[in-house]
Amino acid sequence: MSQLTFDAAGARALEAIYLTPDVIAQRARVIDLLAAQPGERVLDVGVGPGLLAYDIARLVGETGQLVGLDLSAAMVAAAAERLADLPQAQVREGDAVRLDLADGSFDAVVSTQVYEYVADMPRALGELHRVLRSGGRALILDTDWRSLVWHSSDQARMDRVLACWDAHLADPHLPARLGPLLRAAGFEVRRAEILPMFSPRWQPVSYAGGMMRTIHNFVRGNGARFDLSADEIEAWRADQQALIERGEYFFSVNRYAFLATR
């Protein structure tokens, strides 16, 4: 399994995508659903560059606490820099499947675009359940890449490119299993909703615009294992460019948010 590398350059590229209007709107919806209150203790699993953590830390205020964990040292460094002026925030390295945190120590946990990278979901959700207090909230958001509608002049080639891209995740279809996984871990699912990343026309500053570069780079590095030649990958990219120039570009993929309580 090849995964994306979340090193310093990866952290910068991801941050640029997270500052596009679609992802800003997603963050606003996650913040509404989580409804963090002043004084609450909130854990962000897979904190990434810390954009969501920053907003939540400000909502819980100095009487509350925000703890951000991430497997990647580069992400921890980026988040720590962003959160440096907020004394209620702490960021450190940590693994979703082995939380170095006390039982019942959080009122709420949030994790966006992280569990799709985690192979052992029963163990990761067991850890979430353990660190939440009774009645505490968990907000989890992931993408199901099966929901992708991405127009191409050659669908068979597009399917081969996307099969390669799917390999960057432990489970590119996690949302379809999340409800039952949460219930099996002892949670009650209160709400589930779709957050589309939708570009019905080409917009360079958009989630889809950023992902064009990310997917192109990933497939160039990993295509050989999927019998995708360099020429085929460049033909796929050139086709997208031609569609953009003819005004025929279309991209839509869904993210799924689950709000559960312990």
Q: Which is nearer to ligand SAM, 166 or 232 (CB)?
A: 166
Q: Which two tokens stand for residue 230?
A: 């360099």
By the rule CB under 6 A, 22 interacts with ligand SAM:
no
* Closest to 150 in 3D by CA, of 252, 261, 33, 36: 252
Interface residue with ligand SAM among 96, 121, 139, 208 (CB under 6 A) is 96
By the rule CB under 6 A, 254 interacts with ligand SAM:
no
Q: Which residue is nearest to ligand SAM (CB)?
A: 48
Q: Nearest distance from residue 174's CB to ligand SAM, in Å?
A: 12
Number of residues that bind ligand SAM (CB under 6 A): 21
* Closest to 14 in 3D by CA, of 104, 96, 82: 82
Residue pair 180/121 in contact by the 8 Å Cβ criterion: no
Residue pair 240/212 in contact by the 8 Å Cβ criterion: yes
By the rule CB under 6 A, 55 interacts with ligand SAM:
no
The β-bridge partners of 43 are: 67, 109
Interface residue with ligand SAM among 20, 65, 88, 113 (CB under 6 A) is 113
Q: Nearest distance from residue 98's CB to ligand SAM, in Å?
A: 9
User: Which secondary structure element, helix H or strand E, spans residue 193, and what is its range?
Assistant: strand 188-199
By the rule CB under 6 A, 20 interacts with ligand SAM:
no
Q: Nearest distance from residue 24's CB to ligand SAM, in Å?
A: 11
Please give the residues from 180 up to 219 whose contact with ligand SAM meets the rule CB under 6 A.
Answer: none
Q: Which DSSP letter does residue 95 get?
A: B
Q: Which two tokens stand for residue 126?
A: 């067991």
Interface residue with ligand SAM among 57, 67, 75, 83 (CB under 6 A) is 75
Q: Nearest distance from residue 143's CB to ligand SAM, in Å?
A: 9
Residue pair 138/35 in contact by the 8 Å Cβ criterion: no
By the rule CB under 6 A, 114 interacts with ligand SAM:
yes
Q: Which is nearer to ligand SAM, 65 or 112 (CB)?
A: 112
By the rule CB under 6 A, 83 interacts with ligand SAM:
no
Q: Which is nearer to ligand SAM, 43 or 45 (CB)?
A: 45
Residue pair 202/249 in contact by the 8 Å Cβ criterion: yes
> How distant, in Å, are the alpha carbons of 76, 156, 166, 214 from that of 232?
37, 11, 18, 17
By the rule CB under 6 A, 106 interacts with ligand SAM:
no
Measured between alpha carbons, how far is 34 from 63 in angstroms, rounded to an integer?
Answer: 18
Interface residue with ligand SAM among 41, 46, 139, 143 (CB under 6 A) is 46
Interface residue with ligand SAM among 36, 43, 52, 195 (CB under 6 A) is 52
CA 73 remoteness from chain centre: 17
155 exposure class (CB count in 10 Å sphere: 0-12, 13-18, 19+): exposed
Residues that bind ligand SAM (CB under 6 A): 6, 14, 18, 45-46, 48, 51-52, 69-72, 75, 95-97, 112-114, 117-118
